[in-house]
Amino acid sequence: MLNKINQTAAYLKTMVSYRPETGIILGTGLGHLADEITEKVEIPYEQIPHFPLSTVEGHSGKLIFGKLGGKEVLAMQGRFHYYEGYDMKQVTFPVRVFKAMGVKTLFVSNAAGGMNPDFKVGDIMIITDHINLFPEHPLRGKNHEELGTRFPDMSEAYSPRLIAKANEIAERCGIKVQHGVYVGTSGPTFETPAEYRYFRRIGGDAVGMSTVPEVIVARHGEMEVFAISVITDLGVEGIVEKCSHEDVQKAANAAQPLMTRIMQELVTEC
Ligand code: HPA
């Protein structure tokens, strides 16, 4: 794995002169943040050694190097989901490469179903913590000390500093934000009413099928992490409605401008 990571990073370093310290994973329907990146160099995943290929509808797969708010950034447009059949080492490989490229801060976005009864479709939720319910752990197996410690601390997985900054930005821009615990599950099914109820009872505010593996690996590599969800459907007791991939995309697109604004300002300011 170490060789692969280093080979991929070495390849990317020959392709671009950018050396960004800021990484961004653009989740479902939030790809428009990419439109705000200037002086772009785009590299499709299929050209990158050892990169898995993205398959899911609505995700094109490429790395984007460029500038956002004057800062050099490295963004993933299209991520690898566990439900697509990748193993956890593949799902999190790009985060390892980010680290090897010099990325110190990781920004992540995703779509999630809301279980908190105060939430509405279209709300933006700043993730304050997570519950990992994926059936495979991304750090399972031999630990490479070069990549991080065997038993990483997860007491502050989501940077309190960045959360405070995002709160300031949201307030300044008049954007209402929610805060909560993200439950990460494998999918690809949406939840049954009983599952939503269960996730709520164990302390979750929203549930989704991504982010947790990438955040674990980012923290293993001692990156500072900020993550945000757009609430695309509700799994609130008594009002679990039918949900489709299209519903998720539609709600994510509607919230996109606000989410983009927060992320853009946060990347610029931190
Ligand atoms: N459950 C799981 N993943 C999701 C959901 C959901 O309700 N909405 C968007 N991603």
Does ligand 1 lie within 6 Å of residue 207's CB atom?
A: yes
**Structure tokens of 202?**
């164990």
pLDDT surpasses 90 at 123: yes
pLDDT surpasses 50 at 45: yes
**Which pLDDT tens digit goes with each residue over 173-224?**
999 999 999 999 998 999 999 999 999 999 999 999 999 999 999 999 999 9
Does ligand 1 lie within 6 Å of residue 190's CB atom?
A: yes
CB 34 within 8 A of CB 259: no
Q: What is the pLDDT of residue 114?
A: 96
Mean pLDDT over residues 125-147, rounded? Answer: 96
Q: What is the pLDDT of residue 58?
A: 47
Rounded to whole angstroms, the Cα distance separating 92 from 214 reads: 5
172 lies in which domain range? 2-269
Mean pLDDT over residues 155-164, rounded? Answer: 97
Among the listed residues 111, 62, 94, the one whose alpha carbon sits nearest the alpha carbon of residue 209: 111
Does ligand 1 lie within 6 Å of residue 208's CB atom?
A: yes
Q: At what angle do helices 160-173 and 245-269 cross, to 10 degrees?
A: 100
pLDDT surpasses 80 at 9: yes
pLDDT classification of 72: cutoffs 50, 70, 90: very high
Least confident of 25-34, 109-118, 174-183: 25-34
pTM above 0.85, yes or no: yes
pLDDT classification of 172: cutoffs 50, 70, 90: very high
Rounded to whole angstroms, the Cα distance separating 142 from 57 reads: 34
CB 204 within 8 A of CB 154: no
* Best residue among 56, 185, 211, 232 to mutate for probing ligand 1, ranked by most atoms within 8 Å of CB: 232
Q: What is the pLDDT of residue 56?
A: 55
- Residue whose Cα lies nearest atom 9 of ligand 1: it is 112
Residues 6+ apart with CB under 8 A from 198: none
pLDDT surpasses 70 at 265: yes
* Phi, psi at 5, each rounded to 5°: -60, -50
Does ligand 1 lie within 6 Å of residue 214's CB atom?
A: no
Rounded to whole angstroms, the Cα distance separating 104 from 261 reads: 21
Percent of the chain past pLDDT 90, that is, above it, reads 76
How far CA 74 is from CA of 12, 24, 42, 256, 265, in Å, comes to: 11, 6, 10, 20, 16
Q: Count of domains in the chain?
A: 1
Q: What is the pLDDT of residue 55?
A: 61
Cβ-based burial of 28 (10 A; exposed 0-12, middle 13-18, buried ≥19): buried
Q: What is the pLDDT of residue 53?
A: 72
Q: What is the pLDDT of residue 127?
A: 98
Among the listed residues 196, 254, 262, the one whose alpha carbon sits nearest the alpha carbon of residue 228: 262
Say how many Å lie between the CA of residue 121 and the centre of ligand 1.
12
Say how many Å lie between the CA of residue 151 and the centre of ligand 1.
29
**Structure tokens of 235?**
């799994």
Chain-centre distance for alpha carbon 122: 17
Q: What is the pLDDT of residue 196?
A: 95
Mean pLDDT over residues 92-113, rounded? Answer: 96
pLDDT surpasses 50 at 81: yes
pLDDT surpasses 70 at 54: no
**Which pLDDT tens digit goes with each residue over 210-249?**
999 999 999 999 999 999 999 999 998 777 677 788 877 7
* Phi, psi at 200, each rounded to 5°: -65, -45
For residue 148, the domain's CATH number is 3.40.50.1580
Percent of the chain past pLDDT 70, that is, above it, reads 96
- Residue whose Cα lies nearest atom 2 of ligand 1: it is 208
Ligand 1 atom nearest 114 alpha carbon: 7
Mean pLDDT over residues 91-106, rounded? Answer: 97
Mean pLDDT over residues 101-115, rounded? Answer: 96
Does ligand 1 lie within 6 Å of residue 248's CB atom?
A: yes
Q: What is the pLDDT of residue 28?
A: 73
Q: Please report the sign of the dihedral spanned by the C-alpha atoms of residue 20, residue 24, residue 25, residue 26.
A: negative
- Residue whose Cα lies nearest atom 7 of ligand 1: it is 113
